[in-house]
Amino acid sequence: MNLKDLNIDNTWTLFLDRDGVINQRIIDGYVTRWEEFVFGPGVLEALNILSNLFGRLIIVTNQQGIGKGLMTDNDLFVIHYRLIEEVNKAGGRIDKIYYSPFLDEQKNPMRKPDIGMALLAEKDFPEITFSKSIMVGDSLSDMAFGKNVDMYTVFISDEELKEGFKKQIDYFSFHLLDFARKLH
């Protein structure tokens, strides 16, 4: 099925992973300061388009750099404050950012692929319907997170995936702007 056939309107919610979708991922590291945060090419334009299509835009991000003591909640708050400010300046919006500070081995329900952050968003925004939601991410844990609550999933990658992984992925896009243009 084509992404356009979903007929996205303001009753839909867009869930977005952060690192590798909104900003450039730091391989084997964490964005701990605003100075290290670099928007991906075309992301601000994409968020502008997507803000006009979706009723809600929500970021769900695992940030175990906090659990590892490499940064504080306040460091992350500053980064996210600036992130939203830049998105607004470019004409887009982010309604809320949920993050999980927990380590992988803590198996906390708030950490993707577990669904805690999705349930929290549904509680904060009762109009959210998961069957009318899309999760966009660049990792398989994002895809599992989306599928665990029956969202549509979009995998952002410029690489080919092994066949076995594809069942959790409904659509592929090269980057966020590519995805936005496919809906437009």
Q: Which residues are catalytic?
A: 17, 19
Which residue has tokens 């594809």? 166
Nearer to Mg ion, 19 or 114 (CB): 19
Burial environment of residue 56 by CB neighbours within 10 A (0 to 12, 13 to 18, 19 or more):
buried
| Binding residues for Mg ion, total number by CB under 5 A | 4
Stretch that binds Mg ion, among 42-50, 73-81, 86-94, 136-144 (CB under 5 A): 136-144
Alpha helices in 43-139 (DSSP H): 43-53, 64-67, 73-89, 116-124
Least spacing, CB of residue 12 vs Mg ion, in Å: 21
Stretch that binds Mg ion, among 18-26, 47-55, 85-93, 158-166 (CB under 5 A): 18-26
Least spacing, CB of residue 21 vs Mg ion, in Å: 6
Q: Is 65 in the site for Mg ion (CB under 5 A)?
A: no
Q: Is 20 in the site for Mg ion (CB under 5 A)?
A: yes
Within 54-180, strands assigned E span 56-62, 96-100, 133-137, 152-156, 171-173
Residue closest to 156 by CA, chosen among 63, 30, 22, 48: 22
CB count in 10 Å sphere of residue 160: 7
Question: What is the C-alpha separation between 144 and 125, in angstroms, rounded?
Answer: 22
- Among 16, 138, 152, 177, the residue binding Mg ion under the rule CB under 5 A is 138
Question: What is the C-alpha separation between 135 and 13, in angstroms, rounded?
Answer: 9
Q: Is 17 in the site for Mg ion (CB under 5 A)?
A: yes
Least spacing, CB of residue 153 vs Mg ion, in Å: 13
Least spacing, CB of residue 22 vs Mg ion, in Å: 9
Q: Is 15 in the site for Mg ion (CB under 5 A)?
A: no
Residues near Mg ion (CB under 5 A) are 17, 19-20, 138
